[in-house]
Amino acid sequence: MHRKNAPIGVFDSGMGGLTVLKALQEALPHEEFIYIADSAHSPYGTKGAELVHQFSQNIANYFECHQVKAIVVACNTASAVLKQQPLQNIEAPVFEVITPTVKSVQGQHVGAIGTATTIGSGAYAKALQEAGKGLEWAKATPMLVPLVEEGLTTDPIADVLLKHYLADLPNTIDTLILGCTHYPMLKGNIQKLLPNVPLVDAADATAAAVKAFLVNTQMLTETTQGKATLFTTGDAKVFNQLQSLAGFTFGHAKKLDLISEAELSNEHDSNVAVIATA
């Protein structure tokens, strides 16, 4: 595969993956990125594993048709599902966010919050065990993603929900994994509640892992001007309003209509995968 100057594909169920995209741009300022927010199917965390895999496969097929040089699964739920059932027929290397997040954990008494699918999968518990650490407390926090997607991170309801979810966090926990890429947008709220507990999220660790791979494989772009092109499968106007409200400055996302998996499979060779509209 010779795609040195090709873009890097990044996707999430919505806006959360922008935290990873921001870190990727900071680590790799000359690279081109294509970001897909699958807002039409958000949140992934309440969906079954089979459905999340189907959504992820469709997006990966789109990226493969557009010959990206790497795919970053900027979603903990999709990462948990894909660790158990990898993507099929994808040539580009695929980076999930759970492994690099766990590698960045310094504490020994670890807690985690995430979507129901992520926590229920046991992906963090297994990854921590493999790293010689233990997951001592974990909780599904399903209302936090809709909260972020609705732009309510500064609303008092955010603190009410967080206090509810973290009420039984043991005082022995010395590290809390934010096991969803939406949750860094609530980091300030969480840190106020847990001022002495380090918070770990996927963004910087994942960006570092992708950069290391590109360096080691001599796949860094030879171009000098990086950029990011954003798409959403949902309402582009709403998505753009929310990302602006959250402080992101990536520019406007365009509407993307992914065609069905069967149609995409039939059209794979002709590179016809989507209809994109402004």
Known active-site residue 65: no
Report the C-alpha gap between 236 and 256 in whole angstroms. 9
Known active-site residue 75: yes
Alpha helices in 107-235 (DSSP H): 116-121, 123-130, 144-149, 156-165, 187-193, 203-216
Rounded to a whole number of angstroms, the CA Rg of the chain reads 18
Give, in degrees to the nearest 5, the angle at Cα 50 between 48 and 52.
70
Question: β-strands 32-37, 94-95: how paired?
Answer: unpaired
Phi, psi of 253 (to 5 degrees): -85, 150
| Candidates 71, 80, 180, 186; catalytic one | 180
* Tokens 């297994």, located at residue: 126
Token pair listed for 254: 């365009």
| Candidates 8, 21, 72, 75; catalytic one | 75
Q: Are 66 and 264 in contact (CB under 8 A)?
A: no
Report the C-alpha gap between 78 and 205 in whole angstroms. 17
| Cβ partners under 8 Å of residue 269, min gap 6 | none
Among all residues, which ones are annotated catalytic? Answer: 75, 180
